[in-house]
Structure 1
Amino acid sequence: MIPEPGVVPAALAEPTIPVRARWTAAVVLANVGVFAAWLGPIQVLLAKQSEAVAPGNKEFVFGLVTGVGAAVSVVANPAFGAISDRTLSRHGRRVPWVAAGALGGAAGLFVLAGADVIGLMLLGWCLMQLFGNALLAAITATVPDRVPVSQRGVVGGWVAISQVLGALVGTALATAAGGIGLGYVACAVFLLLSVVPYLWRSGDSRLAQRPPLVVRDFLRGFWISPRRYPDFGWAWLTRFLFNVGNALGTLYLFYYLQDEVGVDDPDTGVLILTAIYSVCVLCTAIGCGKWSDSVARRKVFVTGSGLVMAAAGVVLAVWPTWPGAITGAIILGAGFGVYLSVDFALLTEVLPSARDRAKDLGVINIANSLPQVLAPAIAAPIVKHLGGYPVLYLLASIVTALAAVLVRQIRSVD
């Protein structure tokens, strides 16, 4: 059916009806699943597998696999977002890609479970990144699709918690499974189960008519001019810098505990720090997201959270001990909870077009993925030759503090 002139299709209309708790819970669970499938491998399994495959060159192999996978995600997230925006399905625009993403991501994890050479590690991780980003692009777009602006801070807080819970669940599965292969299988099974509630009752609106496809315009749509949309440009840049700082600080956490702090059991150490960090995120994300909604302000929360996160990097740099690592996890979690909830709400308010929500959020997600490509290239030589972990964590703090300051350049959001 072609909409009448002047009538905005339901799938593109600005949402006004508050979402229910069970819908939010289903979206959160799907997010937990995909982040568990990413972060369990990144924080534990890929590091151990790299050491098993190339014990004398573990940092290079780990950086190569995660870097190439991140390069795939740089392309996959906006591409699948744009495809999702144009999908005609009786189930809606987002549901088919949530389902396909879960199935394909699980397949990648099963490949990794049997990988004993670098080539298979690359294949499995690239599949996980490809299809995991299809899922993430679709499930992320459901928030501006369905959630009114006045509710986005608190829903953003729950989405923020899903990322942290995903890290906790993924690390727990990877640690408790009893082996590298079993860890991947556990993450894959959890990923498949996590999307079922959303697929069962998504409430996803159908697109009445697919926009005409002009390939040149479609490809040009991935470039969003910062001159025409300056606030979107600043939001992209600051998110990129936040994620560079975060990637530099967390990529080698396993090796930091093993080689710098001297923890005898780095698997358990990563799990303990992740649990502490997660609790601190839980303590700040929902409350500050709701507070941000009530005062209708975003930037002051994001700036403050960035400065707190920068302080955590300084602690890890100057106090490389187990108590120092715990202190750093507490500070980082407290700041990151505020950042994840409020910055996500801010981003949804600077999107250029309702028709292209998933694609535009996919462009934003390049700012999440590209740092994962750059971080290994920056971090590996620093750890090996240019001052080690203290220099790495100080650099992460500087980059994060710069991002916090530049948030003030966004004008259309208070």
Structure 2
Amino acid sequence: MDENTKGSGTQKFPYRLGFGLLFGLLGWLIPYLGVNSTLLPAKIQQIAPNQKVQIVATLATIAMVVATIANIIEGALSDRTISRWGKRNPWIVLGLITTLITFYCLTKVTTVHGVILNWSLFQVALNMMVAPIVAFIADKAPKKYRGGVSAFYGVGMNIGTPVGTMIASRYITNINSGIYVFMIFEIVFTVIGLLLVGDGSNKGAQVKKLHGSELLEAFIPPIHGDIRDFYLAVFGKLLFVSAQFIITGYQLYIFVDYMKQSSSIAAHSLSIMSTILLITGVAFAAIGGPLADKFHSLKLLVAISTVVMGLGVAAPALDPAPWTMFVYAGLSGCAMGMYNSVDQALNVSVLPNPNNAAKDLGIVNLANSLGQVFGPIVAATIISAAGYRMMFPAAGIMCLVGAILILMIKKVH
């Protein structure tokens, strides 16, 4: 029996599901963010040091387009998959295999065009994992425990981001070895996550046959039902993540070019910053979900977190010195911890159609992928036009607008 359908009087908190989500998320997040935020820019710096800012922006633009299309299609196909391994597992395993292949190929490419092609294929592979993993919350989490289960996902988000950077910072001068380490992480964590979730066969399940406009709607963002709150959540999340990745996408260059540190000192600064993010992020992620379940305050917690993130991302404008990045790390760690611990519960609550959970949650969480590439595009534009300093207040303004959008949601308290 699905955990969502059990009698509410006898429900126990689904710890296996929570830890399965935690490890499943870490399986793709640690390798992705470690490579995307540090090793990939380091490789580009080796290949084309004079064009690195523009290349990162171009790479992000192409990745954004590919990720958008892949996430929607693969999430929709996952919703309609029937197999002896369930509807999510086949896609997650296929994504695991194909991301490992693209990581290996990344160690071999030596041209800018090769990096762009490889990273585009990686986005297709990665999104086979992203949408189905988060859909386990809608599939299996009892409504009364969604905040708590979402907190496991939030803890994973706040472990994955700094740990990926901490590991990657040790391999800035030995990029290929770092990629191999991340490949091992991906295998181990993903397999543990799938075993814990234990999603079994769904043979015999009924999948509605789609024709005409129904077929089109299954593979596009929702256009019917209560979609107002859904899109407020999407764009609020997009602004939050974009503001974060205005800094994250260029954090190596911020220390080297804006704060004038050498590569070795920058690596040390990145490690300190990541440690601060890890401690504050995990601490606040651990308390966010239980607080949301107790006080029923999903919307307010997400909005407050977005404002705190805005203060953090604006801090480096005060002084081109490492202490401002450490202030950013402290504030944004607290913000991301609280935000990520309740964000998925908010997303599940605004879904227009539960039958399209993976596809629609994939679109909400596409804001993660899009934000991670849109942020660097915004940053590159501002750096080229006005220098590094102006991108920090711009990120703060984006967070303020994002908080307003979240507060406009009506059907979630």
Instruction: Return the alpha-carbon distance in structure 1 between the equivalents of residues 158 and 289 of structure 2.
Output: 15
**Residue 183 of structure 2 aligns with which residue?**
188
**Residue 306 of structure 1 aligns with which residue?**
306
1:365 shift after superposition? 2.3
For the Cα contact (< 8 Å) 1:232–1:351, is it kept in 2? yes
TM-score by length of 2: 0.92
1:252 to 247, 250, 253: 250
**Residue 91 of structure 1 aligns with which residue?**
85
Any residues of structure 2 matched to 1:12-411 within 5 Å, and which?
17-177=11-171, 179-204=174-199, 206=202, 208-214=205-211, 216-221=213-218, 222-225=220-223, 228-264=226-262, 265-386=265-386, 388-411=387-410
1:362 shift after superposition? 1.2
1:276 shift after superposition? 0.8
For the Cα contact (< 8 Å) 2:22–2:193, is it kept in 1? no
- More displaced stretch, 67-76 vs 330-339: 67-76
Instruction: Return the alpha-carbon distance in structure 2 between the equivalents of residues 227 and 19 of structure 1.
Output: 31
State the SS of the aligned residue for 1:150. helix
% identical aligned pairs: 28
Instruction: Return the alpha-carbon distance in structure 2 between the equivalents of residues 172 and 378 of structure 1.
Output: 25
- Residue 35 to residue 290, structure 1, CA distance change in 2 (3 Å): same
1:43-91 Cα offsets, whole Å, 9 max, x none, are: 2101110111101111112222233223211111121111100001111
Unaligned runs of 5+ in 2: none
Q: Which amino acid aligns with 1:209?
A: Q
For the Cα contact (< 8 Å) 2:16–2:197, is it kept in 1? no
Instruction: Return the alpha-carbon distance in structure 2 between the equivalents of residues 233 and 119 of structure 1.
Output: 35
For the Cα contact (< 8 Å) 1:225–1:233, is it kept in 2? no
For the Cα contact (< 8 Å) 1:15–1:146, is it kept in 2? no
For the Cα contact (< 8 Å) 2:309–2:335, is it kept in 1? yes
Q: Which amino acid aligns with 2:368?
A: N
1:137 shift after superposition? 0.8
1:401 shift after superposition? 0.9
1:330 shift after superposition? 0.3
1:11 shift after superposition? 9.4
- Residue 111 to residue 19, structure 1, CA distance change in 2 (3 Å): farther
1:314 shift after superposition? 2.1
1:162-185 Cα offsets, whole Å, 9 max, x none, are: 122222332233233461111111
Q: Which amino acid aligns with 2:190?
A: V
State the SS of the aligned residue for 2:49. coil
- Residue 276 to residue 140, structure 1, CA distance change in 2 (3 Å): same
1:201 shift after superposition? 4.4
1:219-251 Cα offsets, whole Å, 9 max, x none, are: 223232388421112111211222222222321
Instruction: Return the alpha-carbon distance in structure 2 between the equivalents of residues 11 and 96 of structure 1.
Output: 21
For the Cα contact (< 8 Å) 1:15–1:144, is it kept in 2? no
Unaligned runs of 5+ in 1: 1-8
- Residue 128 to residue 215, structure 1, CA distance change in 2 (3 Å): farther
Instruction: Return the alpha-carbon distance in structure 2 between the equivalents of residues 408 and 330 of structure 1.
Output: 24
TM-score by length of 1: 0.92
Q: CA RMSD in A?
A: 2.1
**Residue 4 of structure 1 aligns with which residue?**
none
**Residue 3 of structure 1 aligns with which residue?**
none
- Residue 217 to residue 11, structure 1, CA distance change in 2 (3 Å): farther
Q: Which runs of 4+ in 1 moved over 4 A?
A: 9-19
State the SS of the aligned residue for 2:198. coil
- Residue 371 to residue 171, structure 1, CA distance change in 2 (3 Å): closer
Instruction: Return the alpha-carbon distance in structure 2 between the equivalents of residues 14 and 73 of structure 1.
Output: 36
